[in-house]
Amino acid sequence: MLMTCLLVGALAATMAGTGTAHAVPIYPVADPDPFYAAPPDIADRQPGEVLDSRPMPTPLIFPGTTVRLIKFRSTNSSGGPIAATTTVLTPANHAPGGPLLSYQHIINALGTKCAVSRALYSDDPNIQVREAVVLNGLLVRGWSIALPDHLGPTFAYGAARLGGQITLDGIRAVRQVPELQAHDSPIAMAGYSGGGMATAWAAALAPRYAPELEIVGAATGGVPMNMVKMLEGVGLDPHPAFGLLMAAGLGLEREYPDRFPISDYLNSRGMAIRQTLANGCTNEILAAGAGHGIRDFASSTSLISDQTARGVVEENSLELFDGIPKIPIFEWHSPSDPLIPIDAIRTTNNRYCAAGVRLQTELTNSPDHLSAAVFSIPSVLAWLTARAQGEPAPSNC
């Protein structure tokens, strides 16, 4: 599933009430492992600075790898310091300076138990890393792979710009850990859907946020480029993925508590489902919201024109961001994808092309969002390999 139409329902939730006093956002239960906690002096640390690092067991789904969990300093959407984590897989045949991929996994969740660093060791289909086959294809070629927990410590599901910042700081951190031998590695990024959002934002933010990073390219698939248009397309009617819509609203409230206070506008049923979703992973969230719409959980749509709430969605809409990647981009999607606004993708691609970005776009034959993730895998792997080898990037602008 995706993080696409999810933000849309979130804004609908934000605009669906008449309350005036701000309710307190519902945050996830903190991870019981103290490794994930921020140190007292985090404000004195620099973005990307390593705060801690430790070896981890080899996951069953990635045999033959050594694994290291890294905690680093990153930045939230308000500019404040946060502690974030990334898990690095290193294959036995990895040579010093061998290629590194930062892969932004699809995370449809609100609970810390659903983090990629946790999912690697889980047999729960609710949170498994489903892209293992693809990633193993790169590991056997000697690539190391970083898997950031790009929703941040409060699991701010829906905050795409935050995901981009965490992705970039995770790469900074990986390069600093001597055991990983990645200081001089060619770096690439990839992700699909929600993971594609974090990847695409990282590519667009890098010239300003992490200009020192030399990234050879980013592959982004199924990215919802404009959340406002998603709002207009989905509306307030019941939706099969409503649980995810509601979860994204709660995630945005966590990241923007003063600007996106959806809890102020939930009725008693809405507050009850809020409690149910607060620590949920994908299947739990989908089950809780199945067959519902925002009208079940909010009393009115009186704030539909609220500009403050709309501004949060705009700030997480890549089509509206004026930054331009300075690296080659491989972008793929289905032209008949019913869940994302295709015109927003075209507009963003055209803007990048006009600015001189080496952009390769591939349209899949998939009729839906999920299968489009799979159809272009061979092209994505070939494109990433060519970038790591220093070949000139193609463009079909």
Residue 308 CA, chain-centre distance (Å), reads: 23
Tell me if 364 is assigned to some domain.
Answer: yes
Whether 167 and 299 map to the same domain: the answer is: no
Whether 308 and 351 map to the same domain: the answer is: no
Q: Would you state the pLDDT for residue 21? A: 54
Domain end, chosen from 314, 338, 361, is at: 314
Whether 280 and 337 map to the same domain: the answer is: no
Cα–Cα dist 160/48, whole Å:
18
Q: Would you state the pLDDT for residue 265? A: 86
H or E stretch covering 209: helix 194-209
Q: Would you state the pLDDT for residue 357? A: 98
Whether 102 and 44 map to the same domain: the answer is: yes
Cα–Cα dist 166/173, whole Å:
10
Q: Would you state the pLDDT for residue 80? A: 97
Q: Residue 71 corresponds to which amino acid? A: K
Residues in the chain, pLDDT under 50? 1-20, 303
Domain that holds residue 309: 227-314
Q: Would you state the pLDDT for residue 369? A: 87
Whether 174 and 308 map to the same domain: the answer is: no
Tell me if 9 is assigned to some domain.
Answer: no
Whether 231 and 301 map to the same domain: the answer is: yes
Cα–Cα dist 198/162, whole Å:
8
Q: 100: domain CATH number?
A: 3.40.50.1820
Whether 352 and 269 map to the same domain: the answer is: no
Q: Residue 202 corresponds to which amino acid? A: A
Whether 123 and 189 map to the same domain: the answer is: yes
- Dihedral sign from CA coordinates of 262, 264, 265, 269: positive
pLDDT tens column, 238-249: 888 788 888 989
Q: Would you state the pLDDT for residue 234? A: 65
Domain end, chosen from 283, 314, 345, is at: 314
Q: Would you state the pLDDT for residue 337? A: 87
Cα–Cα dist 32/188, whole Å:
32
pLDDT tens column, 112-129: 999 999 999 988 776 777
Domain count, the chain: 2
Residue 359 forms beta bridges with which residues? 329
Whether 354 and 297 map to the same domain: the answer is: no
